[in-house]
Amino acid sequence: MQPRTHVTLEDVARAADVSLATASRALNGMRVTPQLRDRVLAAAAQLAYTPNAHARALAGASHRTVGVICHDVTDPYFAAVAGGVMRVAGANDLLVMLASTFRDPEREIAYVSMLRAERAPAILLIGSGFEDARWERAMEAELKPYLDGGGRVAVVSRHRSLKLDSVLPENRAGAAAMARALLELGHRRFAVLSGPRALTTVTDRLGGFRDELAAAGVTLDPAAVVEGPFTRDGGYQAMTELLARGLDATCVFALTDVMAIGAYAALRDHGLSVPGDVSVAGFDDIPIVRDLTPPLTTVALPLQQLGEKAMEMALTENTGRRRRILRMAGEVVVRASTAKLGA
């Protein structure tokens, strides 16, 4: 912004005919004669004065705006978690600024760097990190000095190589529980709509699911696991691919509700009914899946709480020696998208 003339504290002081120091004190609620205070306040209002946040920060005042970085604000999962963050932040009189990287590591680093440069009191990272050594190093290089400088960082479902305070959904256990639920319904032949393998979320959910099946003597055919981006269209395409390969599964597990939504559409476009022809299950329990037809069976994560707890973590100092990890369990919610086999 081309700084044309800005009203400064000096202008206010002059208008109120007091010293700069007095003006500053009056504006910041320190002890000043009521009469002087009024004069200063009036002058400030009159001139539409806004303190320059930069000058103020530079002179030692501290910030009340925390930064939240997620992959994609457009994704209901992130929106819900961010909502939780904002709830707690609001209760603590903090403002929050949300950044969306659209899954671009460069941009993610840029945001962290910016937040660091602005000396934000806390940074929250939401969503799996990119499993890429270069990214990890860059991230570490940003975060380490930020933490050393007194910054607070908390993370939701983030790569574990970054040693940060974390809120971790129990992806593995949740997927395992889902496997059990589906087995109980009589299913034995499964397909999986998977996300990018580089994400720990994927490793965990897929692994938990597969292992639990294996424990029950059921093997998951590698050809029945299709990978796609964690988006609605990713789910659509993965499902379509599965269908093209000649799906012989009775049940499809989407690693993410958003992908399940795409799967619904693909199935419908192929004239297949859910759960009549194929059962579908998801993961996350984003709000909209209750309103799908049929309502989606899924592993319900306390999305809001994920954000709330992360914010709380960032707000309280870690007095212990080790990083804090809060695991949040997911719960299988059986809705109408999964049917008993043979029923």
Binding site for DNA (CB under 7 A): 3, 6, 8-10, 18-22, 24-25, 27-28, 31-33, 36, 49, 51-52, 55-56, 58-61
315 touches a copy of itself by CB under 8 A: no
114 binding partner (options DNA, a copy of itself, none; Cβ < 5 to 8 Å by kind): a copy of itself
Phi, psi of 78 (to 5 degrees): -70, -35
79 binds, among DNA, a copy of itself, none (CB under 5 to 8 A by kind): a copy of itself
Q: Which stretch binds a copy of itself (CB under 8 A): 110-118, 191-199, 242-250, 321-329?
A: 110-118
The answer to whether 99 touches 67, Cβ cutoff 8 Å, is: yes
C-beta separation of 169 from 140 below 8 A: no
Nearer to a copy of itself, 142 or 212 (CB): 142
Q: What is d(CA 121, CA 127) in angstroms, rounded to the nearest whole number?
A: 20
- Asked if 154 is part of the footprint of a copy of itself (rule: CB under 8 A), the reply reads no
The pairing of beta strand 279-284 with beta strand 251-254: parallel
Signed CA dihedral, 77, 311, 71, 130: sign only: negative
Q: Give the residue with the Cβ less far from DNA, 10 or 184.
A: 10
* Using rule CB under 8 A, residue 19 touches a copy of itself: no
Phi then psi for residue 85, to 5 deg, are -55, -45
3-state secondary structure of 315: helix
Q: Which is nearer to DNA, 24 or 201 (CB)?
A: 24
Look up residue 83 and give its amino acid.
G
User: How many of the other CB atoms lie within 10 Å of CB of 26?
Assistant: 25
Please tell me what DSSP assigns to residue 47.
H
Contact set with a copy of itself (CB under 8 A): 1-7, 48, 50-58, 60, 62-63, 65, 67, 73-74, 76, 79-80, 82-83, 86, 90, 95-100, 102, 107, 110-111, 113-114, 116-122, 141-142, 144-145, 148-152, 232, 261, 264-265, 287-288, 290-293
